[in-house]
Amino acid sequence: MKVPRVVHSGNLHTRSSRLLVLASLLTLLSACGGGGSGSANQPPPSHTLPDQTGCFYQYTLPQSAQRAGIDPLLSSFWHLNNTGQDGGTRGEDLNVFPGWTSTRGNGTRIAIIDDALDVLHEDLAPNVVPGASYSYRSGSVGSSYPLPCLAADDHGTAVAGIAAARDQNAVGGAGVAPQAGLVGYSALATGFDADIADALMRGLADNGVYQNSWGSPDDGKLGEISSVISAAIETGITTGRNSKGAVYVFSNGNGGCYALDQNNRCLSERSTLDAYLNQRGVIVACGVDHDGRHPDYAEQGANLLVCGATGNESYTSFISTTAPKNRYRNDFSGTSASTPMVSGTAALLLSANPSLTWRDIRLILARSARRNDPGDGGWFANPSSGLAYNHKYGFGVANAAAALALAANWSSVGGSDTMRSCGPYLRTPNIALPDASGARVTPREDTIAVPTGCPISRIEYVEVSFTADHAYSGDLRIELTSPTGSTSELAVERLCDGSGDACGSYRNWQFGVTRHLDEPAVGEWRLRVTDAQQDDTGRWNNWSLRIWGR
């Protein structure tokens, strides 16, 4: 049994990182919105507000004002156009401005699933789709005003501003998709699984992108997902947008340094330990700082797709965005901030080419991504796919202009109904996992041969189900190697705060893997499992492999 002596860092779980809410018996941790946009510079069409009894904030309807002009804060938004204005590296941004010459998100909708959304904010209201938002908060259920009700309800408003604050209205700044429609679902205000599942399926005919800057707690433990939420995501990619599929974007989390041990060293986890991020239909968004580098708090993983921008690890550089009651903030950070940038980029693609499916969006983002931090040794260029991957960055930083250029003449690969599947192929090695002895470790390996009858020549997603009985599952390092020789780090050894097997149980745990995108499926796949920490032993019972693609 391993019980680490840890000191939880005070700045890693702030509201600008991840938001604590109660989801039935599961605690969710926020990491950190619609046909078209609302009428320009007009609040939602209503003359009365819902009952605000018990709310910390009290709202009044703003004056309608037709305004046009330069957005005064836009020049400071380095994530849109990095000129080095906050000390970062010129060009380390989303390359959005050139893309705006073709579209600014018109005609598509972003659903913000979060704690609340200030639908009356001067820089958001012009894009808010009238009557489409939904409040889950007790006392105002059914209201289209999911307004902040507590002092801490500022997260969703910040996220929405990054994705789709209005441009050219002489106030604030602009979002990545500044003329996309915004819809707010305040499901995290209650945190109940049923509410979250409902929000993930609400408006499926019209919403293009579902933005989610939240996930499991960043504590090194395996984070489960409710079956109703998993089913909701499956429903969305199957039936959303007339079977083209909803686009779900989730943050990879801030557990890259979730606590400090007694020697002031970081304890970390991987995004593949969060079951929300191991779902086939989820885009997992990572974050890079103003120099294009990996902040220590951001999690690594084999399920990452592309990154947006976020604050640096020293919290001296931040993201500017909207705050409740017509205010603005310049202190937003964490992967909460990077995720809506990927959501905004996806909305631009759907605006430019509404025929794109959820699968097309993933492929376009990956193929057009910019390889940042080229000196980092974690990049692996796979000649079979023509793509390079890094466990810190996925396929790189989202490149809006390049993605839009690729989308213009994209030939769709189809939706869920045409996606092929091979497997699951099951193996039961049932072998002991020898304990680490000093610096010596003894890996155990097993292989699955995908037969030539598998019709997938280009992989889009890999699922690995893994079961091991172990007294301390955090001891295990788990690696998957494909027939082309690329290796996915599914889990690495770690310590978890608590007693017993505080890390959780690998019983039919499903890892979702994006790394092998566009590789061939046929051939020998090898899983290597290593007990990499001293004390505690276990047994590797079984594993299975399922491959999705075309």
Backbone angles phi, psi at 228, to 5 degrees: -70, -30
What number is the average pLDDT over the span 60-74? 83
What distance in Å separates the CA atoms of residue 356 and residue 406, rounded to the nearest whole number?
Answer: 12
For the chain, give the percent of residues with pLDDT over 70. Answer: 89
In sequence order, what DSSP letters do the residues of 467-478 get, joined into one string? EEEES-GGGEEE
- Whether 27 shows a pLDDT value over 90: the answer reads no
Nearest to 535 by CA among 465, 460, 450, 472: 472
Starting at the edge strand that comes first in sequence, how are the strands of the sheet with 444-450 ordered? 444-450, 523-531, 476-481, 487-491
Greatest pairwise CA separation for the chain in angstroms: 71
pLDDT of residue 67: 84
What distance in Å separates the CA atoms of residue 181 and residue 54, rounded to the nearest whole number?
Answer: 30
Residue pair 185/232 in contact by the 8 Å Cβ criterion: no
What tokens were used for 115?
A: 């704690």
**Per-residue pLDDT tens digits for 124-169:** 999 999 999 999 986 666 789 999 998 899 999 999 999 999 999 9
Write down the residue that tokens 């960055």 correspond to: 393
Nearest to 136 by CA among 198, 47, 71: 198
User: Quick count: other Cβ atoms within 10 Å of Cβ 106?
Assistant: 17
User: Quick count: other Cβ atoms within 10 Å of Cβ 179?
Assistant: 25
What distance in Å separates the CA atoms of residue 320 and residue 309, rounded to the nearest whole number?
Answer: 11
Residue pair 250/340 in contact by the 8 Å Cβ criterion: no
User: Quick count: other Cβ atoms within 10 Å of Cβ 25?
Assistant: 8
**3-state SS class at 174:** coil
What distance in Å separates the CA atoms of residue 247 and residue 250, rounded to the nearest whole number?
Answer: 10
- Whether 16 shows a pLDDT value over 70: the answer reads no
Q: 240: part of which helix (H) or strand (E)?
A: helix 227-243
**Per-residue pLDDT tens digits for 467-520:** 999 999 999 999 999 999 999 999 999 988 766 668 999 999 999 999 999 999
Nearest to 218 by CA among 51, 317, 335, 323: 335
- Whether 456 shows a pLDDT value over 90: the answer reads yes
pLDDT of residue 499: 63
- Whether 223 shows a pLDDT value over 90: the answer reads yes
- Whether 43 shows a pLDDT value over 80: the answer reads no
What distance in Å separates the CA atoms of residue 303 and residue 516, rounded to the nearest whole number?
Answer: 10
What distance in Å separates the CA atoms of residue 259 and residue 83, rounded to the nearest whole number?
Answer: 34
What tokens were used for 139?
A: 């006392």
Backbone angles phi, psi at 304, to 5 degrees: -70, 145
Residue pair 120/28 in contact by the 8 Å Cβ criterion: no
Task: Of 108-112, 195-199, 281-285, 491-495, give the lowest mean pLDDT range.
Answer: 491-495
**Per-residue pLDDT tens digits for 426-445:** 999 999 999 988 778 999 99
pLDDT of residue 440: 82
pLDDT of residue 12: 25
Q: Assign 6 a pLDDT band (cuts: 50, 70, 90).
A: very low
Across 66-75, 254-263, 332-341, 497-506, which has the greatest mean pLDDT?
Answer: 332-341
pLDDT of residue 140: 65
In sequence order, what DSSP letters do the residues of 320-339 get, joined into one string? EEEETTTEEEEEE-SHHHHH
Mean pLDDT for the chain?
90
User: What are the C-alpha distances in Å from 240 to residues 200, 205, 295, 344?
Assistant: 10, 6, 34, 18
**Per-residue pLDDT tens digits for 355-412:** 999 999 999 999 999 999 999 999 999 999 999 999 999 999 999 999 999 999 999 9
What number is the average pLDDT over the span 234-238? 98
What distance in Å separates the CA atoms of residue 495 and residue 503, rounded to the nearest whole number?
Answer: 7
What distance in Å separates the CA atoms of residue 192 and residue 25, rounded to the nearest whole number?
Answer: 9
pLDDT of residue 139: 64
pLDDT of residue 500: 63
pLDDT of residue 495: 86
pLDDT of residue 120: 92
Backbone angles phi, psi at 130, to 5 degrees: -55, 125
- DSSP annotation of 12 reads S
User: Quick count: other Cβ atoms within 10 Å of Cβ 97?
Assistant: 13
Write down the residue that tokens 């797709």 correspond to: 305
**Per-residue pLDDT tens digits for 245-275:** 999 999 999 999 988 878 887 889 999 999 9
What distance in Å separates the CA atoms of residue 498 and residue 515, rounded to the nearest whole number?
Answer: 32
Q: Assign 40 a pLDDT band (cuts: 50, 70, 90).
A: very low
User: What are the C-alpha distances in Å from 514 to residues 116, 120, 486, 492, 498?
Assistant: 31, 38, 12, 17, 31
